[in-house]
Structure 1
Amino acid sequence: MTEEPPAITTVQDGIARLTLNNPRRKNAITLEMAALIGDFCALVHDDDTIGAVLVDSAGGYFCSGADTRDLAASSADPAAPESVERISAVYGAFVQIGQLPVPSVSLVAGGAVGAGLNLALATDLMLVTPDAVLDSGFVARGIHPGGGHLSLLGRAAGYQHAIALGVLGAALSGAEAVRRGLAWDLAEPHTMLDTATRLVAKAAADPQLARRIKNSATLELAPAVPWAAAVEIERGMQMWSLARKGRQGWDRNPAKPAV
């Protein structure tokens, strides 16, 4: 039996759907998954019949972050080129999601932690289940945020929320996230896909217009610090924190979620 890939792409009626498919590890982002996300983004850029993107997951949990096995390997020698390349591949995946030429919606059931929260925030809108857990996760792991995490939090919900989640390690339920403006709306798991499909229906029906409006929004609403710059700002401090932690630090409490 052929094993399914860790990310699945479907395109139907003007909507491209990316489904994370690593449920045994709560859809942690592996290097293979990151590469497939990059392929998905290239497809969306190249296919001008696509007017909207949905990002969801298999198994009832959106994304637990970067695979801790990769983070542990990078912690052994964070300055090594292969360590930087490994981390950059994961973060590059959701940066590409954030640069899509069409409106995008993430469907967050269960939880989104660390880089998984980055991935959700990389989309233009989040739908969340009421009991989903949105957790920065980096502070709990003893490492500095990465991938422009603070910029993404600030862009979505403002300075205080970026500090509360990214610096102080607070977590929000889906219901709290909607109330505080971090997510767009609530949906139950069994209705989430239908809700998201209705939300993007007009964009999917007119991809040319959707792409032009999305481009205008990107130009007009760009953050004060470009996302790419935020990634670089955080990279050095995160690699320092990985060095401090060391490979053995990842073995102390394996029950904690990935970031």
Structure 2
Amino acid sequence: MHVEEQPAAGAPSVEVAVTDGVATLRLRNPRRKNAITADMAADIVAFCERVDTDETIGAVVVAGEGGYFCSGADTRDLGAASDDPATTDSMLRTTRVYSSFVRVGRLPVPTVAVMVGGAVGAGMNLALACDVVLATPTAVLDSGFLARGIHPGGGHFSLLGRGLSRSQAMAMGALGAPVSGEQAVSLGLVWATYDEHEIEQQARSLAARAGSDPELSRRIKHSADLELGPNATSWAAAVELERGVQMWSLRRKGEAGWTASRSGG
């Protein structure tokens, strides 16, 4: 069975397809390296709600269009939030992006991220929210927050800590050290690397067995969540812990601080 939903041409969006029990969520904002807009974030949440209730889906693959996974939150939204981060509107802007990858992380089925090219900031959060990450060998995983002069958000250290030691998480999140896809495999952040022409098919192959038995897949995922959950600060608590200080860093930067770079973050 194959079900596909096509978004409007040209507009930043997400594309959803379901084939043989495997749902694919594809970010479609290639001009901005698939930076997540508010509308895209809402569509990701809607997709997750569909997966929650559609028991014919046994696995999810998350990918980006145009040779890059995700450059993070759209800097136009971050810039607007930086004007006065304490306002309700500013809080909603960041919460929408947080909600998108948090919902992916809470899906009731196994999830596989296809990281082609790279991931930055909230884009790396989205990848690490998935259960398994595949990457191209030269893909760049970059926390990116320090380079943009803002505090990490979205429970970033909690996500890094799932696969890294404290020292490794600090090198990436606090000191801004990027790593390649190959390095990420050795560190434990990425399961395996594949060339760009084959990586998505490898992700589908990895997800195929779970997709073929959704009922069992969902029960296995539930057990994994209970047994492998974080034993330090919960992700939910980490999101809230980072929220206030990231808002402070956005206010310090101000909306004008985003005009020099509009690639995402």
Question: In the TM superposition, what are the counterparts of 1:155-170 in structure 2 within 5 Å?
Answer: 155-170=162-177
1:121 matched to 2:132? The reply is no
Alignment-mate amino acid for residue 232 of structure 1: E
Query: What is the match of residue 139 of structure 1?
Result: 146
Q: CA deviation at 1:193?
A: 1.4
Contact 2:163/2:187, CA 8 A, preserved across alignment: no
Query: What is the match of residue 52 of structure 2?
Result: 45
User: 67, 80, 98: which one pairs with 1:91?
Assistant: 98
Q: What is the CA–CA distance in structure 2 between the aligned matches of 1:46 and 1:246, rounded to whole Å?
A: 41
Query: What is the match of residue 151 of structure 1?
Result: 158
Q: What is the CA–CA distance in structure 1 between the aligned matches of 2:8 and 2:106, rounded to whole Å?
A: 32
Q: What secondary structure is seen at the aligned counterpart in 2 of 1:182?
A: coil
CA RMSD in angstroms comes to 1.2
Q: What secondary structure is seen at the aligned counterpart in 2 of 1:155?
A: coil
Q: Which moved further from structure 2: 6-15 or 217-226? A: 217-226
Query: What is the match of residue 192 of structure 2?
Result: 185
Q: What is the CA–CA distance in structure 2 between the aligned matches of 1:175 and 1:119, rounded to whole Å?
A: 19
Query: What is the match of residue 235 of structure 2?
Result: 227
User: 242, 245, 249: which one pairs with 2:250?
Assistant: 242
| TM-superposition CA deviations, 1:38-64 (whole Å, max 9, x none) | 011011101011100000011000000
Percent identity, aligned pairs only, is 58
Q: What secondary structure is seen at the aligned counterpart in 2 of 1:79?
A: coil
Query: What is the match of residue 219 of structure 2?
Result: 212
| TM-superposition CA deviations, 1:101-154 (whole Å, max 9, x none) | 000000000110000000000000100001101000000001000000010001
Query: What is the match of residue 4 of structure 2?
Result: none
Q: What is the CA–CA distance in structure 2 between the aligned matches of 1:161 and 1:33, rounded to whole Å?
A: 31
| TM-superposition CA deviations, 1:189-219 (whole Å, max 9, x none) | 1101111111112111111111001001101
User: 33, 38, 42: which one pairs with 1:35?
Assistant: 42
Q: CA deviation at 1:2?
A: 4.5
Figure out how many residues of one structure are paired with residues of the other and give that number.
257
Alignment-mate amino acid for residue 239 of structure 1: M
Q: CA deviation at 1:220?
A: 1.0
Q: What secondary structure is seen at the aligned counterpart in 1 of 2:162?
A: helix
TM-score where L is the length of structure 2? 0.95
Alignment-mate amino acid for residue 36 of structure 1: D
Q: What is the CA–CA distance in structure 1 between the aligned matches of 2:134 and 2:146, rounded to whole Å?
A: 25
Unaligned runs of 5+ in 2: 1-6
Query: What is the match of residue 80 of structure 1?
Result: 87
Q: What is the CA–CA distance in structure 1 between the aligned matches of 2:188 and 2:94, rounded to whole Å?
A: 29
TM-score where L is the length of structure 1? 0.97
User: 153, 174, 180: which one pairs with 1:173?
Assistant: 180
Query: What is the match of residue 9 of structure 2?
Result: 3
